[in-house]
A = this chain, B = another copy of it.
Amino acid sequence: MTCYYFAAEKMNKPHKDIDTSTEEKIKKAARIVFHRKGFAGARTRDIAEEAGINLALLNYYFRSKEKLFDIIMLESLKGFMQSMTSVFHNPDTTIFEKVDVMANRYIDLLKEEPEIPLFIMSEMRHHPEKLIAEMKPRQFLMGSAFEQQFKAAVKTGEIKNVKMIHFIMNLLGMLVFPFIATPMLRSMTEMNDESWNSVLEERKKLIPQWIKLMFENH
């Protein structure tokens, strides 16, 4: 028992073909299976099969299902929150420019990995203690450029006097909900891949317009 996770990073090895290494194959497979089935529904055997490796290698490289899950979850959470945080903390864009960037960036991101929001929300409900701390949700809004801009704009009457959380709920709701309710929404309207995709593309432009209409004072 020599080479567990991070071992390769502690020693500085040649790191040949990192993307085809066994460790990376397992992580990639774990991402797919965990995203699709969640922690409880995913079996280590599913992951091993998806990765095309022997079951024992999972424990050899990552010690346990839970440790592997923690790594995948942390990465997913980072990917999901990071763009959001950087946008909201950027002082060089206006409120509505932020919305624009969010819409474009998030719809592209979620088209690549559509299961991420439901995965994160589910696991966050099932193990809140563990994940809420990891997410550092306080730093997301509190003291952000967005918060300051929002409060200022309410004061000047530029935008309507409603709680900031409504703004966030509406933006994220319109952005993320389609990816959470995909099976329901798609079967309701019997959309094929192409028209589903075009609806998502339309929303990149429409969501910023809608947000303006909702919150801007005219």
| Binary contact track A71-108/B, C-beta < 8 Å → 1, others 0 | 00000000000000000000000000000000000000
Nearest first, the 10 closest Cβ-Cβ pairs linking A and B are A173-B177, A40-B41, A173-B173, A40-B40, A137-B187, A137-B188, A213-B213, A210-B214, A173-B174, A124-B183
How many A residues face the partner with a CB closer than 8 A? 53
Q: Are A132 and B183 in contact (CB under 8 A)?
A: yes
Chain B, residue nearest A37 (CB):
B126
Q: How far is the CA of A128 from the CA of B214 in the complex (A)?
A: 35
Known contacts: A163-B202, A185-B169. The answer to whether A121 contacts B174 by CB under 8 A is: no
Chain B, residue nearest A139 (CB):
B188
Count this chain's copies in the assembly. Answer: 2
Known: A132-B184, A170-B173. 13 other contacts (CB 8 A): A38-B41, A118-B125, A121-B184, A124-B184, A125-B182, A125-B183, A137-B187, A164-B189, A165-B188, A166-B199, A170-B210, A174-B174, A177-B180
